Amino acid sequence: MDFSLLTEKISKQLKENLPFVVYSLPLEEKVFALLQKDQTRFTITEMTQNGFVLAPFEYDGNALFIPENVSEKIESEILNSDNEAAKTLIAKNAAEEKEYSEKVAKTIEKIKRRKAYKIVLSRFKEFPLKDFSVELLLNRLFSIYPTAFRYIWYHPQTGLWCGATPETLVQVEKDSFKTMALAGTQPLTDKVPVVWGPKELDEQQLVTDAITNSLQRVTSVLKVSNPHTHRAGSLLHLRTDITGILKNGKATLTTIAAALHPTPAVCGTPQKFAKEFIHENEGYDREFYTGFLGPIRENGATASLMVNLRCMKIENNTARIFVGGGITIGSQPSDEWQETQNKMQTMLQVLQPML
């Protein structure tokens, strides 16, 4: 289907308050859509059905689902457009910076007292939109970030969510799977080679170790790569690839997703303490930010589940952009604030003509 025809269909679906999801895998030139035919709220526990899953940060084994068998399924080529992604200036807000920096300082104190090795602290910022257009959103989101997993999800009970995430939770292909440890952030510059400091290297190792430990509960066959630099829009991250074998029916898409989520990249380590600290100190509900999402095919034999980062919720002509960062013993509050400001640019660049 022609991309402009797809945008018309998505616009009509949204006007009629009917659920839909439209997405594209990293480096794919195709975009896929599921347009649900009624407003039913479907959920899924075992990921063995074809469709698209959306799970919150507080995943308890139950996730939202748009089933393929009750939806119109569409495939389209991405429209090649010359959308610009210039940096958007964010008005300084001393009160917001002070509040977040104080939370970071408190987090560092907990880590110094050996309560945790890493805690992921997040925040959100709301931006009023002059004139929201889902057609413009589709056009910009899918053309600006070709290396990310891009999606727009809508259900009348959740509102509209969209994002361009760099992080895979798990990819399954028949009897094998792959995941990644993604940590450490710096802005993209012309500097070559890219240099990573001890703070980022330590954080990356913490995340890698925690993920491999989680996976060893469901499979013992793992292969871990060396860390390498990964570009995500205007940011760079450290990435380690982890691959493994599904065996004996114990390691399924559902059990691996449950073992991995929430990863240390979105929660912290040890997980239990980090999650409790987040509940007590962040001061808001993350909802689907830092949850996971993605298409399930071949009844769970093939799937691409992604961590829901670099995302926003759009409601009542307002975009709520979610950002966060991993706090470790080497963190500096001012640097952590700036990191969240940098991460906000991913969605701001998509919204630019609507701000």
In a domain, 254, yes or no: yes
pLDDT at residue number 249: 67
CA nearest neighbour of 66 among 22, 20, 134: 20
In a domain, 317, yes or no: yes
| Reduced 3-state DSSP string for 68-133 | HHHEEEEEEECCCCCCCCCCCCCCCCHHHHHHHHHHHHHHHHHHHCCCCCEEEEEEEEEEECCCCC
| Rounded Cα gap, residues 140 and 68, in angstroms | 26
Question: What share of the chain has pLDDT > 90, as a percent?
Answer: 83
Buried residues in 266-282 as b, exposed as e (16+ CB within 10 A): bbbbebebbbebbeeeb
In a domain, 87, yes or no: no
Q: Which residues constitute the domain of residue 268?
A: 3-78+93-354
In a domain, 103, yes or no: yes
In a domain, 243, yes or no: yes
pLDDT at residue number 251: 77
| Residue numbers in the chain where pLDDT is lower than 50 | none
Q: Quote the number of domains for the chain.
A: 1
SS3 140: helix
In a domain, 223, yes or no: yes
CB 293 within 8 A of CB 65: no
- 31: domain CATH number is 3.60.120.10
pLDDT at residue number 63: 98
Phi-psi map region of 290: left, alpha, beta (phi>0 left; psi -120 to 50 alpha): left
In a domain, 86, yes or no: no
In a domain, 84, yes or no: no
